[in-house]
Amino acid sequence: MLVNGIWTKDWQPVQAKDEQGRFIRQTSGFRHWITPDGEPGPTGDGGFKAEKGRYHLYVAYICPWASRTLMVRALKGLEDYISISVVNPVMTDQGWQFGHADGADFDELNGCDYLHQLYTKVDPQYTGRATVPVLWDKQKQVIVSNESADIIRMLNSAFDHLTGSTVDLYPEPFREEIETLNQRIYQQLNNGVYQAGFASSQFAYEEAYHNVFSMLDELESRLADGRPFLFGDALTETDVRTFVTLVRFDAAYHGVFKCNRNLLAQMPHLYAYTKRIYEIDGIAKTVRIDHIKQGYYSIKALNPGRIIPVGPDSIF
């Protein structure tokens, strides 16, 4: 991680833990918002007006948080408005690296070798981890946001007056329910698999394990009535946030994170739901099974030999 702008030690997956060994995730450090007119959003400063070609996303196909932003970029028709760079899926001793892998990009925009150099370009005294996604402003040469939940929310509406998109992933009638379910899915499933995988005590692992499968069972039951998505006929941001964990489950979390009560493929409603979202136009190209396996199984703390499993070689 970075301390006062200096890379201090080899990358480690566990950022912090509590007294019972629970994995604690770092809070995002950049929380500005793109808005239609450049006025300030819910947090941070103003001055980030929605404009075609002004913004850039730094992402990793391995990362579910970054993949949220890729999905919304595709669903909202923003591929020609926001460019992207994909980092190498294998974490190095200096964190995320650019290039040097199939499907990974060199940083043609800023000339960085490692993502942490982008953070210190903005703040030479930055302290913290250099994470993806990063939403970059080419005009101001600053990080707009590194919080995926904020990024998907702003991409949902900030560019609509330019693109004409009518897709709404955060519809007004469901907002209260979306917020409630988002939080529960984040705690038990999205972050829950990481709490299981990075637990530093048996107690913390088992607690997280049971939380993960309790939520999976709940979602399986919710979809049993035949609804296509979690809130009915319309895809929402809650489906995006859920999909990115589900699509990685059998290939990564079942094995390397020890969430192994059963495979997602053994839960028929959730499996069909995940496949349904995967088949929406533009979504399949946001998923790289090779990057997912390479990334998770190259975490030395969890897989010292860094042996990558041969299968699965496809999602479905």
Catalytic residue of the set 58, 194, 205, 273: 194
Burial category of 305 from C-beta neighbours within 10 Å (exposed 0-12, middle 13-18, buried 19 and up): exposed
194 is catalytic: yes
Annotated binding residue 248: no
User: Angle 183-284-185 (CA atoms, 0-180°, nearest 5)?
Assistant: 10
130 annotated as belonging to a binding site for a ligand: yes
Q: Are 170 and 275 in contact (CB under 8 A)?
A: no
- Residue 54 annotated in ligand binding: no
- Asked if 90 contacts 101 with a C-beta cutoff of 8 angstroms, the reply is yes
Residue-wise DSSP of 124-151:
TT--B---S-EEEETTTTEEEE--HHHH
Ligand-binding site membership of 193 (annotated): no
Question: Given 55, 61, 63, 273, which residue is catalytic?
Answer: 63
Name every residue whose Cβ is closer than 8 Å to that of residue 137 and which is 6 or more positions away in sequence. Answer: 48, 54, 55, 143, 144
Helix axes 64-75, 148-157, angle to 10 degrees: 0
As a whole number of angstroms, the distance between CA 243 and CA 245 comes to 5
Residue 129 marked as a ligand binder? yes
112 catalytic? Reply is: no
The bridge status of strand 23-24 relative to strand 6-7 is unpaired
**Any known ligand binding at 33?**
no
DSSP 3-state helix, strand, coil percentages of the chain (rounded to 5)? 40, 10, 50
| 25 marked as binding residue | no
C-alpha distance from residue 140 to each of 47, 110, 144, 307 (Å): 9, 13, 9, 42
Sheet arrangement for strand 134-137? 82-86, 55-59, 134-137, 142-145
Extract the annotated binding site.
Answer: 96, 129-132, 147-148
Q: Which residues are annotated as a binding site for glutathione?
A: 96, 129-132, 147-148
Q: Which residues are catalytic?
A: 63, 194
